[in-house]
Amino acid sequence: LARVMYLKNPLIQRGVSVKQLYVWGQGWTVKAANDEVQQVIDDFLYDPKNDDVVGSHEARMNLEVALQVDGNVFFCFFVNRANGRVRVRTIPFNEVDEVICNPDDAKESWFYKRIWTEQRFDPANGSIATVSQIAYYPDWRYTPVSQMPVSINGNQVHWDKPVYHVKVGGFSNW
């Protein structure tokens, strides 16, 4: 409903645009005190593979709209174990079906259950097949010391792709 209202109502579009311009209108600068740390930050932000998600001004403006309209952004980090480089992507809000939390602390997220439809292209005949997928992604802060399940209910847990969840516009226990 929020997406439809954003697309159809010019007053809502304007409100989102004003906040978007307020937050990112003059750009931003990240400056570390240490040159080596600065190099790591620059390598991450200005990596061409991250540019369309977080590196460019346009990407950050688009993320602000998504955050205001959906109230949530799910960043997924893909770490190259060989060189330590990190590629960041977002998981669409409508693909996150459930947030699994610590049973003793509902504010401590453990996993994000993702359900999506994958399109697979067959170059031999030019056809595209759709396949439903389910997977679990750990919260970036969740590092269990004992049990790290490979799967949950037969669905893969992607320990190598942690998720950082940003949410706005709700109560802390939502």
- Quick: pLDDT tens for 137-174: 999 999 998 889 999 999 999 999 999 999 988 777 77
Structure tokens at 1: 């409903």
Summarised one tens digit per residue, pLDDT across range 89-144 is 999 999 999 999 999 998 999 999 999 999 999 999 999 999 999 999 999 999 99
What value does the CA radius of gyration of the chain take, rounded to a whole number of Å?
Answer: 19
